[in-house]
Structures are given as C-alpha cells and as structure tokens.
Amino acid sequence: MLNSFFEMPKTLDLFQFAVLNPQIAMLTFLEVGKEMASQPKKMEEAQLDLTNRLCELQKAFAEKICNQNNASIDLTYNKNTQKFEENALNKNPMMIFSRCFYETISNWMLDTLDSIEGVDPFLMKSARFFMKQYIDMMSPDNFPFLNPNVIKEAIDTSGENFAKGIEMLLNDLKNGAITTNDREKFKVGVDIAVTPGKVIFQNDIIELIQYSPSTSKVFSVPILFVPPWINKFYILDLKPESSLVKWAIDKGFTVFMISWVNPDKRYRKKGFEDYIIDGLLASINKIVDVTGTKKINTLGYCVGGTLIASFLAYLAHPSCNMRPKAEIVSTTLLTTLLDFEHSGDMAIFMAENYLEAINAQLKESGILEGSVLYNTFSALKAKDMIWRYFINSYMLGKKPGPHEILFWNSDSTNLTEAMQTFLAKDLYKDNLLKTGNLKIFGVPINLKLIKTAIYMISTKKDHLVPWQATFDGIKLLNDKVRFVLGGSGHVAGVVNPPSRNKYCYWTNSQQTKTAQEWLETAVETAGSWWNDWFEWIKTISGTTIIPPQITNSIRNAPGIYVNNETPEILKL
C-alpha cells in the first residue's frame, strides 16, 4: 500500500532520500490520515483525550507554580563571579510550562498514532519514525529563547556564543555533516588502532593484519576478526585500554584482522560473493600458510557476522566445492542480524521509493557514499547524534571535545553498488537468508546446516540491530549457540572492556520461544561480557604453543586501506 502510493521524482538528491525526505514524511502522514479519517470515533476520542490532557496540564502547572514561592522571571546574579546562577532560568514559569506542554503534546501524538487501527504495519512503522523525528526537532531545548542554558550563555558572553555557533554551522554546512567530536585529537595509527602488528597480505579488497603476540605462549587456534565493511575495522582496536584486539592478544590469542578497502566507483560490481572469496576465504588461507594451523576461530561484527554465517552455511551444504584450508571451529557474532524481518528503524530506508532513488544514483556514481550512511545512522538516533550537537555547537558555541567512538563513527566508508543492492534488497527487504532462497555461488543457504559452535552477543539498547531480532536469528541456527545479551547499545555495548566495570550482561541456559521470555528468566551478571566470551572460546582454542612469528610483511599495521588509500593497480 505504501509503495504504490509513493511516486517520487528520480532526480531528487541522494542525501534527501538516505536521510529524511520531507516529501516522504508528508505522504506517509497523508496515508495515515486517510485511515484516521475513516475512523471518526477514533478522531473524536483523540480530541477529547487531548482536551483532558491539556486541562490536567493547566491544573498541574498552576499548582506547581503556586507551590513554588521562588518561581520568578527574575535572574539571580552572582556579584562574585559576575555571572547568573546556573539554574536560575529553570525556575522561570515560561520554561517550566514549555517543557510540560511539549511533553503532553508529544505523548498525545504518539498515543493517538498508535491507536489507529487497520494500518499497514510498515506504514505505521514509517509514520512513527517520522513522528519521533518531528518530536525531537520541536523540543524546547532546540529553540534559543526556550532553552535556559542558551539564554544564560548569551547573557554571560554578551551573545558571543551565537557568533561562535554560526561559524561552526557554516563550517559544518561546507563539510556536509554535523561535527560531533574534535577530529584533530586523533590520528589512526598514532592515537587509536595502535596495537603492534603487520600487514601480511593484500589484494583489491582487503589488507590482512597479523598482530604481534604479547604472551610467551598462545592458544594453538588463532582468531580472525571480520569487521563490517560499512565502517573502519579499528572500532575493535581503539585506544589500548578499550581495544578488544589487544585484550584478546593479552589473553593469549593470535589475532588476525581484515581491513576492508574503502571502495570507489571502480569497485561498483564487487558484491557479497567477492567479499567472501577475496576477504574471508583469502584471509583464512593466508593464515594457514603463515601459521600452519588446521583450525581457526572467527569473529564477525554486524554484517561481518552475516558474511561469516552465510559462508558457514555454504560450507555445510553437500554441493559446496570451495573450501578453506582450515576448519572454522567457532564463530562469534557481535550484534549480527540473520533474520531481517524485525530489523528496527533501518527498515524505514528499505522502502521501495528510497531504494529506487538510491539505485538511480548508484547507476551514475557506482557507490553509496559514506557520508550518506553516516547521516542516515545519525538520523536514526537524532536526539543524541543531531540535536545534542545542534544545541552545544550552534547555540552554546561550544566546540565538541575528543571522543574515540564518535571519531570512528564519523570516519565513514562507501558501499559498492552491488553490495548496497544485495544488503538492501536480498537481506533487509526480501529476507532471503531466513527464507532459504539466498544462493551463494549457486548453492542455497540453509543456516540450520551449520554445525560450528557459535557465540552470539547482542546489546539491550541497540537501535540498529534490535536484540529481539538477533534472538529471532538464533532460531535459524542449530542448538550449539550461546546467546548473551549485553548492556548499552550497538557500539558501546560491544566495546566494553572489563577494566571499566560498566554495564552488565544476561545469560540463559533455558530454551525459550520469545525474546521476552528469555530475558525474564535470564541471569544478570555485573561487568563485561568479554569475560564470559573468553571462558567460552578458550575451551575450543586448543593447547598452548609458542607464538607464530611474523616473517614476511608488507607494511606496519594499521595499513593503508584504513586511511582510504586504494591499490594503484586493481585486478577488478
């Protein structure tokens, strides 16, 4: 219903489609409006509900103001510091009412939307997403004269904050993205991604890094890290104290890392199968050549995990005719989707109208630019990734400070035309991995055939890969899966070293039908899931041996692909 209703011009800018196109939002609400208009009883109930809520607001506000003897429009001035008190404006009745009114209307809008019956589920999902975007945008904090902190800063600095803010705004408009961190404070290979190692192999798609050992003995089964190709690999190797790579090395593992190339238009035809052959398979074979191992552990983050799972299912099929030199004895899937039916807010951008417009642009450029992906992911968490910096930078005039994860987050990469089409259509839209209709090298992929031991970690507040969706994914696998739920979100929940003693994780030995049942009967453990993962993986990593030495290398880690260099001569 939604797709047939949309008829978008093919000449619209890609940035509009990949982030927030007001035309699509408007047409979505028009379609929902049709449904609501056909339910006059619901409209009548909604109007009465709004009237009641506003009356309650007026009553509660009046009581609150009358009970606050110090409620005043006056500002308290501190003669010693020559500044106004920090929270003086928060007591202002106008500020109090604006927030109460905003909260009342916002809740009513969402509740009314949810009450509409008979709406196409995807259409409702789209409408709710756009509604939340609108609500976040209309927050009183985003308006200078309704934000007490902005007013105070303007008075204290004689308006200098606005001058600084305009300067930063113009600079961000020039760069095409909101600045979320001080990028000058980090340099890849100097401040982050500094774990010692060498690039031991390179082709058109990857550099393979072998990290130097830090222990006198290591487990005989090495680990290959497979990061997502829509981001840089060093999310797993940030500062030493938060590096999963360094932590695993210090625990006695020989670690290898794939660093994907940042593709340009010459790579437009490189797709999922190419990333398996020239990425995953080539890496495993090279690891065997340099270590002599017959077994290997793998770890995949996000779509890197989807790549590994798909390859394992291919290897398990009787028609498989292309095998690696080593047996994959385990895989760890970090926030990985296998069942894309409930893929969260990302599904909004898989609607036919978005895909048609993006495909039209892909035919011209051959790639989906990384800046588009970055802005899209930011829009999915607009309150934290857009409006927070809109206020701090443009209204308060404060330059963002350094933040290693946000630095990585803004270091975006491109997607090839073939890969974007595969991810959007075959996985997200058609969910072929679940239905069994996905074929790799002509072989149908059935995840149930996988016999490899699997550790799957999801995070409770993940907005990109909802943990309930990853839980659905384990139903497609065999019984040899350890499912663990971590705290926080898609990145912070994964990059959670034990030394920080943050968050917690949940485990459950029982088999449950739903994610909610699993959580209700799960055991909560304080601290990082890394400890639980180590206890699991060490039992299948063999005996301890003298660390394999790095003999032949091309260059030092982190290599050149991570800095957006590409081979001078391609064999595409």
259-312 residue pLDDT tens:
999 999 999 999 999 999 999 999 999 999 999 999 999 999 999 999 999 999
Closest CA to 500 of 527, 526, 525, 524: 527
Residue 207 scores a pLDDT above 70: yes
Q: Residue 167: inside a domain, yes or no?
A: no
Q: Residue 183: inside a domain, yes or no?
A: no
- What whole-number percentage of the chain has pLDDT above 90? 65
Q: Are residues 205 and 127 in the same domain?
A: no
For β-strands 197-202 and 555-556, DSSP reports them as: antiparallel
Q: Residue 413: inside a domain, yes or no?
A: no
Residue 215 scores a pLDDT above 50: yes
Residue 115: domain span? 2-156
> Per the omega criterion (within 30 degrees of 0), is the bond before 402 cis?
no
Phi, psi (5° rounding) for residue 473? -65, -35
Q: Residue 258: inside a domain, yes or no?
A: yes
Closest CA to 346 of 431, 286, 277, 262: 431
Per-residue pLDDT band at 371 (split at 50, 70, 90): confident
* DSSP strands (E only) in 82-180: 83-84
Average pLDDT, the chain: 88
Q: Are residues 205 and 124 in the same domain?
A: no
- Range of 121-125, 177-181, 337-341, 346-350 with top mean pLDDT: 337-341
Residue 62 scores a pLDDT above 90: no
Per-residue pLDDT band at 1 (split at 50, 70, 90): very low
Q: Are residues 124 and 259 in the same domain?
A: no
The encoded tokens of residue 367 equal 């790639």
CATH number at residue 506: 3.40.50.1820
Residue 495 scores a pLDDT above 50: yes
* Residues paired with 506 in a beta bridge: 485, 524
- Range of 126-135, 193-202, 560-569 with top mean pLDDT: 193-202
Is residue 421 within 8 Å of residue 359, measured between CB atoms?
yes
Q: Are residues 151 and 247 in the same domain?
A: no
Q: What pLDDT is recorded for position 567?
A: 77
Residue 382 scores a pLDDT above 90: no
Per-residue pLDDT band at 15 (split at 50, 70, 90): very low
Q: Are residues 152 and 203 in the same domain?
A: no
| Mean pLDDT, rounded, for 358-383 | 84
Q: Residue 366: inside a domain, yes or no?
A: no
Is 504 one of the catalytic residues?
no
Q: Residue 356: inside a domain, yes or no?
A: no
- Give the integer Cα–Cα distance in Å for 444 and 276: 15
The tally of domains found in the chain comes to: 2
Residue 125 scores a pLDDT above 90: no
Per-residue pLDDT band at 474 (split at 50, 70, 90): very high
Single residue among 139, 156, 173 that ends a domain in this structure: 156
- Give the integer Cα–Cα distance in Å for 499 and 309: 30
| Mean pLDDT, rounded, for 227-231 | 95
Q: What pLDDT is recorded for position 272?
A: 97
Q: Are residues 451 and 332 in the same domain?
A: yes
Residue 361 scores a pLDDT above 90: no
Single residue among 125, 156, 187 that ends a domain in this structure: 156
Is residue 285 within 8 Å of residue 324, measured between CB atoms?
yes
Q: What pLDDT is recorded for position 72?
A: 44
Q: Are residues 327 and 460 in the same domain?
A: yes
- Give the integer Cα–Cα distance in Å for 181 and 410: 9
Least confident segment among 20-29, 177-186, 463-472: 20-29
Per-residue pLDDT band at 11 (split at 50, 70, 90): very low
Q: 3-class DSSP state for residue 87? A: coil
Buried/exposed code over 248-277 (b: 16+ C-beta within 10 A; e: otherwise): bbebbbbbbbbbbbbbeeebbebbbbbbbe
- Give the integer Cα–Cα distance in Å for 402 and 406: 8
Q: Residue 189: inside a domain, yes or no?
A: no
Closest CA to 122 of 3, 7, 16: 3
Residue 89 scores a pLDDT above 80: no
Residue 85 scores a pLDDT above 60: no
Q: Are residues 536 and 484 in the same domain?
A: yes
**Contacts with 249 (C-beta within 8 Å, 6 or more apart), sequence order:** 195, 211, 212, 213, 214, 215, 255
Q: What pLDDT is recorded for position 259?
A: 98
Question: Which residue in the list 66, 100, 302, 320 is annotated as catalytic?
Answer: 302
Residue 142 scores a pLDDT above 90: yes
Residue 475 scores a pLDDT above 50: yes
Least confident segment among 48-57, 152-161, 345-354: 345-354
**Contacts with 400 (C-beta within 8 Å, 6 or more apart), sequence order:** 179, 180, 181, 182, 389, 392, 393, 406
Q: Are residues 7 and 94 in the same domain?
A: yes
Single residue among 124, 140, 156 that ends a domain in this structure: 156
Residue 99 burial by Cβ neighbours in a 10 Å radius (0-12, 13-18, 19+): middle
Per-residue pLDDT band at 13 (split at 50, 70, 90): very low
CA dihedral 84, 89, 91, 93 (to 10 degrees): 140
Least confident segment among 135-139, 174-178, 214-218, 481-485: 174-178
Q: Are residues 126 and 223 in the same domain?
A: no
Phi, psi (5° rounding) for residue 7? -135, 95
Pairwise pLDDT comparison (86 vs 471), residue with the higher score: 471
Q: Are residues 232 and 141 in the same domain?
A: no
Q: Residue 19: inside a domain, yes or no?
A: yes
> 155-170 pLDDT, tens per residue?
889 999 999 999 999 9
Q: Are residues 248 and 147 in the same domain?
A: no
